[in-house]
Amino acid sequence: FKYKREHPVGDIQINPDQILEGDLLLWYIKFYPSADLMKPLLYLTESHFKDPFCRSLFIELSTSLRNNGPLDLIKLLSHAETPEQQLFFTQLLKKRIHLEKKPIYFTTAVQRLLDRKRLEEREEIRQKLHASTTTEDEALRLAKQFDTLK
């Protein structure tokens, strides 16, 4: 989804996926290399990221974390191909965060990404179940899969 908001200077496009994913990436950038950042990497994959720029940042950050490499902001910024991506990255780095609320906000950001992916998978299965072309065996398999995604 992309939302437009009227602004006195012009239209501003708001990408909610980029905002959600950016919140998580912010925690990774600000607290790199923290042991707390490793556990979510067991659950998060690049498929959890819809925005291509956020996905590339996540891949770079997770690779550096897994290899115990240093955080290279220049390398991260090199993934920004458009001025909008560069602006998003600079705004991300300028965000102020409350250090004392890290456990709550970080886990909330991870959980929201996991929930979004799970709900999208459930919706895909639901649509397949309601399609008239599914066989009974396939419908039973999809129903079981749907129940496991609760």
66-83: b or e for each residue (b if 16 or more CB lie within 10 Å)? eeeeeeeeeebeebbeee
The CA distance from 65 to 70, in Å, is 8
pLDDT digits (tens, 9 = 90+) for 13-65: 777 888 888 888 888 887 777 767 777 877 888 999 998 889 998 888 888 88
The CA distance from 58 to 30, in Å, is 13
The pTM (predicted TM-score) of the whole model is 0.73
First-to-last C-alpha distance (Å) of the chain: 24
